[in-house]
Structure 1
């Protein structure tokens, strides 16, 4: 765990080494109110078994510090890990939320998985669907929602105090940006979303959703808008939209799909819940065959 005090908030960052994911507890120091952002439910794909190691670490932190969790927030339906939002909600009672564009992602993946007609794609799996620009509070900390499409059509950034939780939109400056080749992704939209984030004040904290420790450095999660503008290897300086899109598309064509993607999306379009049990009482995953090509077979 790493801790930060920045932009009016106290922030605890939890790293999941398996998926490279960062999970956050954002605390208002005046009231001890908190929000949890993008918690991970552990999954062993070999055994197709879930566990709660990451979520239990977050829960222990919350209880040890006697925090009052007011929100459990997802930035988008993740492709590389399961959301632990329902498990934490059962423990803490806080409402869950995501951006309202999640309904489009639900419809897209409902079709890809061949789910039954009665599978709901209206976002009812979350307690709150945020609109673009909508505001809320974490204790006395002001918070607002920025839509950040590109990585997925539903991706959002949470600006809490003077901190932006950008998840898969920006990475650390030496790692660049996230991919935009998943179904519904768009490199042009990603460029515009990043420019919106980089228009925030220079001292705004930027907390990323993934880091894999490139070149052997320790995983990191925090930078600032100023650092991103100056040093991000994909969008720093005056890189044009056309150059960025070409770079992003060349790189995306070489990347394998996340190992857990075809498991994770069917869980995360359900708000982090496993599929309903079948008639025999057992839960089964549904995997579409021959829908995606490995990178070496792409043009």
Structure 2
């Protein structure tokens, strides 16, 4: 298998869709009008006050795909998100494509199957997804060559997707002035995240990196794209002068101060099912669980 740095393909076009409510960026990756495309980390809108879902964010993506005549081949999840619900099943119903995630989602399913006491309603085998990628596995988005890169640390199952000179890093890295993602979720580990970040920062300096989230300081608006060189020189947590031990000490101390994400309880139990909601009960209503004192 060739080195990830040697992945030769036409330069992909990348269209971002930023969701201010969750600070999440959904991407459509394609080669131009009429081409095949992949949708990365799609958002389903969810109001935690009412429990109401809507598809406004997904409809923006659908409108773009149809305007450009794109063919959806992939719905790519970087991990089981704790801050938004996935719109992958809705987009699949509207546009087609296969829902994919890393094969280590099984470990995450096993942990949260117990947390939510899902029993026989969830098989922790990844079968809810159409495709489970292995580390280094290659695939195509039409004419665009792509590769899955296992980058655990934030969770055990995180993947980055390299499509040509673009890498969709999930929650492994944030913009240089924001730093890195937390590692205190079940199965997370700061040592592992440091090594995953280094795996990405060993790519060529001009590699384009696309963030899953941005939490901008007051001095700027949301930004989602940077480069390996910019991260190496300027990432406040992971620049090339920061040792593994210094990072782990910083990350561990910082994580102790963080509250759980607002949507972790609804998000995780949906996203480990590939974005599918629980089956309706006898009254026709679907219910999510809120485990008390469990996290």
Separation in 2, partners of 1:197, 1:36: 21
Separation in 1, partners of 2:129, 2:246: 37
TM-score, structure 1 as length reference: 0.94
User: 1:165 and 2:191 equivalent?
Assistant: no
Check whether the contact 2:28–2:39 (CA below 8 A) recurs between aligned residues.
yes
Deviation at 1:29, TM superposition (A): 3.0
Check whether the contact 1:31–1:139 (CA below 8 A) recurs between aligned residues.
no
User: 1:109 and 2:112 equivalent?
Assistant: yes
**Tell me, what secondary structure is at the counterpart of 2:119?**
coil
- Matched with 1:152 is 155
User: 1:276 and 2:279 equivalent?
Assistant: yes
**Tell me, what secondary structure is at the counterpart of 2:39?**
strand
- Matched with 1:238 is 241
- Matched with 1:11 is 14
**Tell me, what secondary structure is at the counterpart of 1:35?**
strand
Deviation at 1:109, TM superposition (A): 0.2
- Matched with 1:77 is 80
Deviation at 1:237, TM superposition (A): 2.4
**Tell me, what secondary structure is at the counterpart of 2:232?**
helix
- Matched with 1:97 is 100
RMSD: 1.3
Q: Which runs of 5+ in 2 are unaligned?
A: 1-8
User: 1:119 and 2:122 equivalent?
Assistant: yes
Greater shift in the superposed pair: 228-237 or 282-291: 282-291
Runs of 4+ aligned structure 1 residues displaced above 4 Å come to: none
**Tell me, what secondary structure is at the counterpart of 2:285?**
coil
Separation in 1, partners of 2:211, 2:10: 15
Deviation at 1:182, TM superposition (A): 0.7
- Matched with 1:39 is 42
What does the per-residue CA deviation read over 1:209-266, in whole Å, with 9 as the maximum and x for residues that have no partner? 0002212411000000000000000011221111000100111111111000011100
Figure out how many residues of one structure are paired with residues of the other and give that number.
287
Check whether the contact 2:203–2:228 (CA below 8 A) recurs between aligned residues.
yes
Deviation at 1:191, TM superposition (A): 0.4
What does the per-residue CA deviation read over 1:20-73, in whole Å, with 9 as the maximum and x for residues that have no partner? 001100012386211000000000000001100110000000001111111111
Check whether the contact 1:28–1:140 (CA below 8 A) recurs between aligned residues.
yes
Greater shift in the superposed pair: 10-19 or 31-40: 31-40
Separation in 1, partners of 2:90, 2:39: 12
Separation in 2, partners of 1:285, 1:248: 31
What does the per-residue CA deviation read over 1:81-115, in whole Å, with 9 as the maximum and x for residues that have no partner? 00000000000111111111001101110001111
Separation in 1, partners of 2:10, 2:178: 24
Q: Which runs of 5+ in 1 are unaligned?
A: 1-5, 293-299
Structure 2 CA distance for partners of 1:217 and 1:37, relative to 1, 3 Å: same
User: 1:264 and 2:255 equivalent?
Assistant: no
**Tell me, what secondary structure is at the counterpart of 1:159?**
strand
Check whether the contact 2:174–2:213 (CA below 8 A) recurs between aligned residues.
yes
Deviation at 1:137, TM superposition (A): 0.9
TM-score, structure 2 as length reference: 0.95
Structure 2 CA distance for partners of 1:19 and 1:118, relative to 1, 3 Å: closer
Check whether the contact 1:43–1:82 (CA below 8 A) recurs between aligned residues.
yes
- Matched with 2:288 is 285
2:218 pairs, out of 206, 210, 215, with: 215
User: 1:197 and 2:200 equivalent?
Assistant: yes
1:66 pairs, out of 66, 69, 75, with: 69
